[in-house]
Structure 1
Amino acid sequence: MMKAFHPLQGLLAITVLLAGCHGGAAVAPADTTAAALAVVKPVADCTQLAAVDVTDIGGAGSKINSATVVATTVNGSSVSLCVVKGTLAPSNTFEVALPVGTWTQRFAALGCGGLCGNVADPTKEDAISFSYKCPLVQQGGFVTAATDMGHQGFDPGWTADAQKQADFAYRGQHITTLAAKKLIKAYYGQEQKFSYFVGCSDGGREALMAAQRYPNDYNGIVAGAPAAHFQLQNSVFHGWSVVANSTTGDSSGNSILYPDKVAVLHKAVLAACADTPDGLISDPRACRFDPASIACPAGAQDTSQCLTQAEVLAAGRIYGGPADAKTGAPMQAGRPVFGSEGNWVGVEVPTSGSSSAPVPVKSGVFSYNIVTGAYNLIFTGTPARPDIDTFGYTDSSFYATYLAENHPLNDATNPDLSAFRKAGGKLILWHGWADQHISPLYTIQYYEAMQGQMGQATVDEFARLYLVPGVAHCGGGEGNDNIDLVSGITGWVEQGTAPGSVMTYKLDSAGAQTASRPVYPYPAVAQYTGSGDWHDGANYASGAPRYNVRTPSWPGSIFYTPYAPKVQGVPAP
């Protein structure tokens, strides 16, 4: 169900929510939510939207390029949409899809993944990133909007442009939302009743950026696997994944671990730590696996089902991350966790090769490509800038010296969401435990930082966090990667029904459901009751947390405290 992607594109919001609209009992049913708002028909012809002036939003040069009606099929239902394409100066390309006869007064902005550079077609079934067979989507109830966030394509040359940096960091989604809302008013003769944002990966960062910078833009936000710690993520985190698996300890070497041995490692991890009926890990932090436990015996001739000493060390480095040379303290609070190994191929390790047919450590590996692609975004203005081999892997001063400058521009880790809460906003965070791109431990740390800043009781009023066992980055993996959180956010915003358990689903290649299981608001985990078919989510209940230790302080903790956002380039309205 996952789409192929360019190494710098990442995973778009289109993969966020692909399950049926029938979550846990604590969530308002989707059909009830859909029936709560009347359908509003247009008061203008679609072609008239081509004349809407958007220069007040994007500035001189902003324009609508086209406005045409198209028919699309959404989960088997035919829906007519007025599709508006335009540009917000200097170069934010956007598209807005407005239902012709089925609008239920809701608007949703769709996040963009990786370093963006393309517009997710909001008319396509998989681009309307809500839920598989969800009535709100099938009925064409949402106006949707997407943007490339100010640049086109994946050539990193744009990253040296200060205005495009700002458009990617925070401005692009905001001005696209303003334009979409203006088009809604022009087309339907009224404003939307409710506004939402749904995004994953960088789209998750964009979601949190909106809550932090523009608390009045959206009533409800779903932020999946957020790259909120953009500075750290795309330098030290991914950089370490490269050098940790290198024969030379830098980006010039060959890889040590390859897909065949990663499969051996993954099988051993699950054998040691799986605690669910389907053989997954409900909370990897409670796992105490040591790669040395599957080390090859001295002098072994056949090493196909064990790890050589070099492979043991490489695995340990990938899991553990670097340490400060002076104190020995960890330099990172989040790394790929136990159980994620099955998803490392193409990210932490190359897609091909073996110990007998070695390939360069940077060959086709996402971690290398994203570091080089995001370089100018992270280190703009910093003298004597480091590179992937000279990041401060063992010097904690690196964070303050090199990453702090653009932290308030690119990062979305401000834990003070008081203004968003005051505006009545609701937030759902979610993350797959087996994420190979962004460690779920960072999302946990952000959630803890929110609790520390605002108080747990206050956070509980407007935010939830869900962690899904075995699910990879924004979907995929061995876990139940189909989950409907849109029903949760709309029910919470529109009816005041706070989400509790949410059902997750596993589908086979033909789209047939093979298993279901609930997830519960963090830190609770789903626990099999011990009777009935374990494939059936009805046979699970909320279980006690497997792990209760909060994230300890580390050098990057400075980025999870309140800060003033950095603004540059053309101001956003």
Structure 2
Amino acid sequence: MRTLQSLKLLSGIKARSVSVLTLIAVCATAAIVAACGGGSSGGALTYTPLSVVQPVVDCSKLTSIDITDIGGAGSSISSASVTNATVNGATVAFCTVKGTLAPSNAFEVALPVSTWTQRFAELGCGGLCGNLSDPTQQSSFSFSYQCPLVQQGGFVTAATDMGHTGQDSSWTTDPQKQADFAYRGQHITTLAAKKLIRAYYGQTQKYSYFIGCSDGGREALMAAQRYPTDYNGIVAGAPAAHFQIQNSLYHGWSVKSQSTTGTSAGNAILYADKATLLHKAVAAACGGGSGAADGLIADPRTCHFDPATIQCASGATSTSNCLTTAEVTTAKAIYNGPTDATTGEYMLAGSPLYGSEANWIGVEVPATNSTDAPVSVTKLFSYSIVTGAYNLIFTGSPTMPTIDTFGYQDASFYTTYLKANHSFIDATSPDLSAFNAAGGKLILWHGWADQHISPLFTIQYYEAMQNAMGASAVDQFARLYLVPGVGHCGGGEGNPNIDLVSKITGWVEEAKVPTSVMTYQTDSSSNVTASRPVYPYPAVAKYTGSGDWHNGANYTQGAPLYTASSRTWAGSSFYAPYTPTTRGVAAP
């Protein structure tokens, strides 16, 4: 099974033909030792520089470092050698250390040989992980578009496969590997990386960060909840914090609502060409909320499009430019999500939103067209997500349900099947008082057009934090950004390029409280074709009405377009404070 991190879906929307904007990065003279990031609210961030620290031992000596105190017996370092990586066109040398933390957490730490600025960043892993990403590559360092600290090798970075290799689901029945995936793997990798930092440079890091998206976003919030002193700053993108709900009811409903039989035995109803048709109609009806003629939906909660408005006429001989009755029913089901059969209560905090339809292709709907051969719903990516996570979710359940027997219309599904492992693998506890008390800072972000995880779950979590801790307390250490037109962890027709790394380092290190953040759209040659600021939730960007609307300088902060609180739903109690539980070997 592919990981969410590796899945890169394209919206099919061609790049706008606009003049290329010039992106000017204004940095201090010592760019390598000071984080730098622009924004519509005032250019570059300036910092008291951190000195570049040189190694005190040869890289090869790190193979002798004992890490059994962290991972237990059997933990070891297998190699430590200098490797070169090309970062933003420049060659950066890293002391690359590989090893295993028992029983089977493969990890890799990249320690800059001559560019370290006393900062460390743990990198999240998407999907069900099972792969070890290369921490020397900028592509592994999400949300750092044009960030000099990343581009010039200022961070020690680390990654882990979280205790298993590949996508064979047999590991999901092992209690220890379940724990390593749930919370332990990232934590012990962080401890190992910090020990290597002390040995290599003769001192500890000054600041530590966690950067992740999708399940990496869940891992980020898990760190804030379980290990509040591990990191000074955390960036959590599109977090799958509600892991059990996401990988059962949420994606399962996408399969059920798409099936000609209402079960996994059926074929898909809605296909790529019709999802594209639907998206164009939605964009025409609801786009332009920022005041610009861009077709992007500034806040999909204000959209009330009815798919029946593009339903084919009765007896139509051609359905290529309209939706059949079955396709309309399916689209409505995907938007609305399931409800309890008795009470009518929503079963989910949210579903894929208006404006995300083009991104459904390859996830909720097949990548082929309605004129092609029928596709079994078992071929949908949503189906593989659910079936790959069965044992992680239902270990200890009274029975092992299937995608066909989930309680889509029965609120008791939460207490019968999901409650037992909720405090073990979910990361939805909103009480981050310990993280706040330790001085930690948190940036949440989500694309409004996410095809995998509804942004409404992230909004629910943010509101739960405010309810648990008080809005003023949350405002001291957390920000939420929602990006119009952007899909899961990037992609889509919006502006997916964003530098939140500079924002989190600025907040942690120099108390530069994040306000606006500029987002960018680029063409195939990496030229900037459009830019636009995003503002802390719930504010939205508003076009001033003059100048090129592709240029982010021509926007200002607008009032919220939607102010109602999140809806109540069957799993709302999962967003109340709880005490996390452990399994297997507890992390140090």
| Bin for the TM-score computed over the shorter chain | over 0.9
> Partners in 1 of 2:345 and 2:101 — Cα distance?
46
Cross-structure match for 1:187: 200
Cross-structure match for 2:419: 404
Alignment of 1:149-228 (within 5 A): 149-228=162-241
* Counterpart secondary structure, 2:270: coil
CA deviation vs aligned residue, 1:140-194 (integer Å, no higher than 9, x gap):
1100000000000011110010000000000000000000000000000000000
- The residue type equivalent to 1:360 in the other structure is S
* Counterpart secondary structure, 1:109: strand
Alignment of 1:10-49 (within 5 A): 10-11=4-5, 22-24=37-39, 29=44, 32-33=46-47, 36-49=49-62
2:160 is the alignment partner of 1:147: yes
Cross-structure match for 2:327: 311
> Partners in 2 of 1:396 and 1:467 — Cα distance?
29
2:142 is the alignment partner of 1:129: yes
CA deviation vs aligned residue, 1:306-360 (integer Å, no higher than 9, x gap):
1000000000001101111101121112100000001001110111242663111
Cross-structure match for 2:377: 361
Alignment of 1:39-118 (within 5 A): 39-118=52-131
> Partners in 2 of 1:28 and 1:120 — Cα distance?
33
Displacement of 1:76: 1.2
8 Å CA contact 1:196, 1:218 repeated in 2:
yes
8 Å CA contact 1:353, 1:359 repeated in 2:
no
Cross-structure match for 1:345: 361
2:288 is the alignment partner of 1:272: no
2:443 is the alignment partner of 1:428: yes
8 Å CA contact 1:8, 1:116 repeated in 2:
no
* Counterpart secondary structure, 1:565: coil
Displacement of 1:139: 2.2
Cross-structure match for 1:245: 258
TM-score normalised per structure 2: 0.93
Displacement of 1:427: 0.1
> Partners in 2 of 1:445 and 1:288 — Cα distance?
20
Pairing partner for 1:486 from 475, 481, 501: 501
8 Å CA contact 1:22, 1:503 repeated in 2:
no
CA deviation vs aligned residue, 1:213-248 (integer Å, no higher than 9, x gap):
000000000000000000000000000000101000
- The residue type equivalent to 2:334 in the other structure is I
Q: Is there any run of 5+ residues in structure 2 with no aligned partner, and where?
A: 10-22, 26-35
TM-score normalised per structure 1: 0.96
Displacement of 1:29: 3.0
2:23 is the alignment partner of 1:9: no
8 Å CA contact 1:505, 1:517 repeated in 2:
yes
Displacement of 1:126: 1.5
- The residue type equivalent to 2:128 in the other structure is L
* Counterpart secondary structure, 2:235: strand
Pairing partner for 2:581 from 560, 566, 572: 566
8 Å CA contact 2:143, 2:498 repeated in 1:
no
8 Å CA contact 1:28, 1:491 repeated in 2:
no
> Partners in 2 of 1:504 and 1:447 — Cα distance?
22
Displacement of 1:371: 0.3
CA 1:432–1:459: 2 relative to 1, 3 Å? same
> Partners in 2 of 1:394 and 1:237 — Cα distance?
12
CA deviation vs aligned residue, 1:246-276 (integer Å, no higher than 9, x gap):
0001111010000010011000000110024
Cross-structure match for 1:3: none
Displacement of 1:133: 3.1
The range that moved more, 550-559 or 19-28, is: 19-28
* Counterpart secondary structure, 1:406: helix
* Counterpart secondary structure, 2:321: coil
* Counterpart secondary structure, 2:136: coil
2:405 is the alignment partner of 1:390: yes
The percent of aligned pairs where both chains have the same amino acid is 69
Q: Is there any run of 5+ residues in structure 1 with no aligned partner, and where?
A: 1-6
8 Å CA contact 1:28, 1:488 repeated in 2:
no
> Partners in 2 of 1:138 and 1:357 — Cα distance?
46
> Partners in 2 of 1:28 and 1:50 — Cα distance?
43
CA 1:145–1:27: 2 relative to 1, 3 Å? farther
- The residue type equivalent to 1:411 in the other structure is D
What is the number of equivalent residue pairs in this alignment? 561
* Counterpart secondary structure, 2:210: strand
* Counterpart secondary structure, 1:381: coil
- The residue type equivalent to 2:209 in the other structure is Y
Pairing partner for 2:462 from 424, 443, 447: 447
Displacement of 1:463: 0.1
8 Å CA contact 2:274, 2:369 repeated in 1:
no
* Counterpart secondary structure, 1:489: helix
> Partners in 2 of 1:124 and 1:379 — Cα distance?
36
Cross-structure match for 1:300: 316
CA 1:14–1:426: 2 relative to 1, 3 Å? farther
Displacement of 1:361: 1.4
The range that moved more, 133-142 or 518-527, is: 133-142
Displacement of 1:11: 1.1
CA deviation vs aligned residue, 1:473-506 (integer Å, no higher than 9, x gap):
0000000000000111000000001100000000
Pairing partner for 1:457 from 447, 453, 472: 472
2:343 is the alignment partner of 1:323: no
* Counterpart secondary structure, 2:80: strand
8 Å CA contact 2:124, 2:220 repeated in 1:
yes
CA 1:524–1:515: 2 relative to 1, 3 Å? same
8 Å CA contact 1:467, 1:522 repeated in 2:
yes
> Partners in 2 of 1:12 and 1:36 — Cα distance?
35
Let me know the Cα RMSD of the aligned residues. Answer: 1.5
> Partners in 1 of 2:37 and 2:279 — Cα distance?
32
Displacement of 1:23: 3.0
The range that moved more, 121-130 or 164-173, is: 121-130
Displacement of 1:25: 5.2
* Counterpart secondary structure, 2:195: helix
* Counterpart secondary structure, 1:394: coil
2:298 is the alignment partner of 1:282: yes
Displacement of 1:130: 4.9
Pairing partner for 1:373 from 384, 388, 395: 388
- The residue type equivalent to 1:387 in the other structure is T
8 Å CA contact 2:266, 2:376 repeated in 1:
yes
Displacement of 1:13: 12
CA deviation vs aligned residue, 1:97-144 (integer Å, no higher than 9, x gap):
000011000000000000000111011232233523321012211000
> Partners in 2 of 1:311 and 1:449 — Cα distance?
35
> Partners in 1 of 2:565 and 2:62 — Cα distance?
51
> Partners in 1 of 2:38 and 2:355 — Cα distance?
25
